[in-house]
Amino acid sequence: MSVVLIITFIFCIIIARFFYVQVVWGKELTLRATDQWNREIPIVAPRGVIYDRNGTLLVGNKTTYRVFVRPNAVVSKEKCAIELSAVLGIDPQTLLEKLNKKNMSEVTVAKQVEKESIEKLVSLGLAGVYYSRDNARTYSYNDLLCQVLGFTASDGMGLTGIEKYYENLLCGTNGEISYTTDIVGVETENTQIVYKQAIAGDNLKLTIDLEIQLSAERAMRNVYNSSGAKKVSCIVLDPSNFDVLAMVNYPSYNLNEIPRDDADRLNAESRNCLVSDIYEPGSTFKIVTAAANLEEYVKGNPKAFSPTYVFNGSRTRIVDGTTIKCWSDHANGKHSNQTLSKALNNSCNPCFTDIALMLGTDTFYEYLHAFGLGNTTGIDFSGEAAGLLLAQSLVKDCDLARIGFGQTIAVSGLQLACAAAAAVNGGVYYTPHLLKETALSDGKTISVYEPTVKNRVISEKASALLAEMLEGVVTEGSGKRAYIEGYKVGGKTGTAQKFENGHIAAGKYVSSFVGFFPSDSPKYLALIIVDEPQGTYYGSAVAAPVAKEIFEDIIKIKNINRYE
């Protein structure tokens, strides 16, 4: 009886195993078996192309090819390696080592091969050698916008910039060509070829305006060469929605001739400093301090300084034992009896120290956070810096006083441009953006980016008061070199000493200017940063004229009428 039970039990196990193999595991085993007799050649999906806001092509593709070898189908590996080497310019020994690798049904020997080389390979009729279409990126304007657009790896994947950030949209879905082979991988005589079409990536339309970008690039090259600066940067925003119209970092590099063999140079020149680097802004930051004061005045804070208030004419303030001086010696009555408007014109540090101390740490920090300081802006770009804002609990009066005129705080160029734009556009802070639209490869629009309001920083009234004062900086103050007759331009200059290893670096400055127009309804805002200019280093002399040059170009490009 026990023997019968044992036999029955074993028989049940065998039946169960058959059932599992045939039914449960059967589909997978069938696929495995089929796969042993099938080979696939990948078809690389065309990568999405990139346009400026007006539909001008910035990044496109050219057709290249990938070359594969199926070692089991090669008649003579030595001969094959030599023939491939002569056409592709690859070391024959390296190729031979690839062909001799065991357990490799297929090896890729070259990517992004030009059509002429493929035609030579075809004429040779080498057994076991195949090719499929690949894509190589082409950049229409070489080094233009290079740190923003970024570049791809040899396999087409985005490595930096927009190419990386929107990789999931640009990459598409690869297809394949499948056909049957014999046991050693040689294509059978009556092979059945199955074609799976590749799906192209989405096309992108950026907020960038090519003509404004070209103007900004030209202006920044000029100031780089004339000033002997270490580097220069410029961002042009639309203050009404924070669209990025232009973004320049110089020196730059040619996207069609990427210096991949010089890692240090590539890392330095491919870095988008406006987004990823920070610096002490100096007097351009007084825009934020003045905005906070005017908003408190509009709210009815009795401690706030009204537009008609006259500041003490002293050139120094003693705060926590620290002496804070104005850049001017106030000789011959300079900077005496100043209103807030005059303090902006003259860029007088002690006046903004008074404002910061009046606001106090808690209130001032509320404004700093509202203006996006100490945090990222949320731009659609990788590697954004958050800036440096001293922890509120650690702030002393002397720290607060220096923050008031742009020291003891560090910002990115993008942060400062956005803060200034929010201060003069009616008081609204938007999320800055580089992507405007996405579309299918046939041009059909998929989505359109809508401006996103993050918060209101100040009231419309306070913003209008500030914009009018900043117009005065250009018409009669330190920003005169940005003045354009017949147009309402506002702005603020800045000249900040650089710190290295915790100490002031002698003779090293960052010169800057943030300007906008028309001042009563801003449509264009530009931030110019000149890092370590040689000789003349004041922002009023170095940076302000660059903004004027760009604004004058915009006036011509957009055919903007004079102010009546």
Q: Which residues pair with 203 in a beta bridge?
A: 439
Q: What is the C-alpha R_g of the chain?
A: 32
Mark out the alpha helices in 388-543 (DSSP H runs).
Answer: 397-403, 413-424, 460-476, 539-542
Find, among 203, 255, 214, the residue nearest to 55 by Cα: 203
Nearest-angstrom CA–CA distance, 115 and 99: 23
Q: Active-site residue 283, yes or no? A: yes
* Catalytic residue selected from 283, 478, 511, 540: 283
509 close to 496: Cβ distance less than 8 angstroms: yes
Nearest-angstrom CA–CA distance, 87 and 116: 10
User: Which amino acid is located at 556 in the chain?
Assistant: K
Those residues whose C-beta lies under 8 Å from the C-beta of residue 491, and which sit 6 or more positions away, are: 470, 473, 474, 479, 482, 513, 514, 515, 516, 544, 547
Long-range contact list for 87-90, CB < 8 A, 24+ apart? 87/117, 87/120, 87/121, 87/124, 88/113, 88/117
Can you tell me whether residue 47 is helix, strand or coil?
Answer: coil
Element (H, E) at 35: helix 26-36
Element (H, E) at 564: none
Helices 77-88, 92-99: inter-axial angle, 10-degree rounding: 140
Question: Is the Cα torsion angle 77, 78, 81, 84 positive or negative in sign?
Answer: negative
Cβ-based burial of 247 (10 A; exposed 0-12, middle 13-18, buried ≥19): buried
80, two tokens: 């094959």
Mark out the alpha helices in 175-307 (DSSP H runs).
Answer: 210-227, 263-269, 273-276, 286-299
> HEC profile for 148-180?
HHCCECCCCCECCHHHHHCHHHHCCECEEEEEE
529, two tokens: 């940063």
Nearest-angstrom CA–CA distance, 340 and 356: 13
Catalytic amino acids?
A: 283
